[in-house]
Amino acid sequence: MPRSSAPLASCPAAPLAPPVGALLRRYTDAGEPLSCQPVAQGLLNRGYRLSTTRGAYFLKQHLDARTADRDTITRQHRATERLHALGLPVAPPLPDAAGRTVAVIGGHCYALHPWVDGRHRDGAQLSAAGSRRLGSLLGHVHTCLDRVMGATPPGTGHESARPEDTYRLIDDLLRLVRARRCRDGFDELAEHRLRERRVLLAAHAHRRPPAAAATGWVHGDFHPFNLLYRGAEPAAIVDWDRLGVRPRAEEAVRAAAIFFVRPAGELALDKVRAYARAYRRAAGADGAELAAAVDRVWWERLNDFWTLRWRYQRHDRRADPQFPAVSALVVWWTREYEAVRDAFTG
């Protein structure tokens, strides 16, 4: 059979491997494919480093059913284009010859972005100045989103978790853990944490916070794997799939609980304090807004078992490494509640 003289793309044989040739034909100056290698795979989508005769690109394959339709992705793309114009470190997608940024091939959506050289950094790798820079960045994201997204749609309530639902989930997960024939150390820890959480929840059920009072446009998934650094400076905020309207201060608290958690399940409160002060200044948020967000995110963590649901209900173990620190943080946060709140509001 005839063979092209151009080098063939070397995408690995995998489910839903990207149709590189068909994709690149949509662009006038993207070049011919040389290689297509998977990068660190996210939990919801798939990414590749695509090298061509014209350079390197990031090819994103949208798989998450909640956000993988063309209209939703296009809205995200327009937002990043406007944020980029305002000077935020984002990497908007490249338009094809027809000006479209979403390619639907074989029933799946793809987008081609410029390749950004950089590395991920967690809170342990950030100095006090870096922590302030991070808080300021997220504050600017929120204020700029308000400018580019327009009026905030009516809120949907954002009710906090109900303890009775959590008790049922704990019982369901305990049954699944105990039903395993060959239990390992993870299973033992999971059972311990589930039983422990039931006791904690019973002791604090009366502290269920009310529905969120204030919402705004947020990134929706701001954590170390969605932020690339070049040296000490943020180079690109990526993965805007969960762009939406939610309590914005909660995103600030939730992000800090990911960036600044230590392996033993404690927060580096000195860095949290520097981060939170910078966020409040940049976002124009006051201490009361942050205090309410701390209440709600703590309650969310007390009632949340997403890593265990992935393992025992979805039979997906990709989130397993996060469970030890995440589950320990809930216990520590409950014990040190006032100190945590003070770090965000003081």
pLDDT band at 43 (very low <50, low <70, confident <90, very high): low
* Residues in a beta bridge with 55: 52
What's residue 10's pLDDT?
39
Instruction: Give first-to-last CA distance, the chain, whole Å.
Output: 71
What's residue 67's pLDDT?
80
Return d(Cα 219, Cα 242) in angstroms, integer: 6
What's residue 213's pLDDT?
74
Mean pLDDT of the chain, nearest integer: 91
Report the run of H or E that residue 235 belongs to, with start and end: strand 233-237
Query: 295 versus 211: which is more confidently predicted?
Result: 295
Q: What is the CA radius of gyration of the chain?
A: 22
What's residue 66's pLDDT?
80
Mean predicted confidence (pLDDT) in 265-275? 98
Mean predicted confidence (pLDDT) in 260-289? 97
Question: Given a cut of 50, is residue 276 above it in pLDDT?
Answer: yes
Of 55-64, 138-147, 326-335, which range is least confident? 55-64
Q: What is the 3-state secondary structure (H, E, C) of 56-119?
A: EEEEEEECCCCCCCHHHHHHHHHHHHHHHHCCCCECCCCCCCCCCCCEEECCEEEEEEECCCCE
85: which 2 tokens? Answer: 């114009």
CA dihedral 204, 205, 206, 211 (to 10 degrees): 120
In the chain, the percentage of residues whose pLDDT exceeds 90 is: 84
Query: 108 versus 7: which is more confidently predicted?
Result: 108
Return d(Cα 61, Cα 52) in angstroms, integer: 18
pLDDT band at 15 (very low <50, low <70, confident <90, very high): very low
The predicted-structure confidence for 185-235, as pLDDT tens digits, reads as follows: 999 999 999 999 999 999 999 999 998 877 899 999 999 999 999 999 999
pLDDT band at 64 (very low <50, low <70, confident <90, very high): confident
C-alpha 152, offset from chain centre: 21
- Would you say how long the chain is, in residues? 346
Task: Give φ, ψ of 50 to 5 degrees.
Answer: -105, 115
Task: Give φ, ψ of 263 to 5 degrees.
Answer: -55, -30
Mean predicted confidence (pLDDT) in 52-75? 90
pLDDT band at 61 (very low <50, low <70, confident <90, very high): very high
Q: Is residue 62 within 8 Å of 45, Cβ to Cβ?
A: yes
* Residues in a beta bridge with 216: 246
> CB under 8 Å to 61, separation ≥6 — which residues?
16, 18, 45, 46, 47, 48, 108, 109, 110
Q: Is residue 75 within 8 Å of 243, Cβ to Cβ?
A: yes
For residue 150, is it left (φ>0), alpha (ψ between -120 and 50) or beta?
A: left
What's residue 63's pLDDT?
86
* Residues in a beta bridge with 48: 38, 59
Query: 10 versus 122: which is more confidently predicted?
Result: 122
Mean predicted confidence (pLDDT) in 135-139? 98
Q: Is residue 300 within 8 Å of 160, Cβ to Cβ?
A: yes
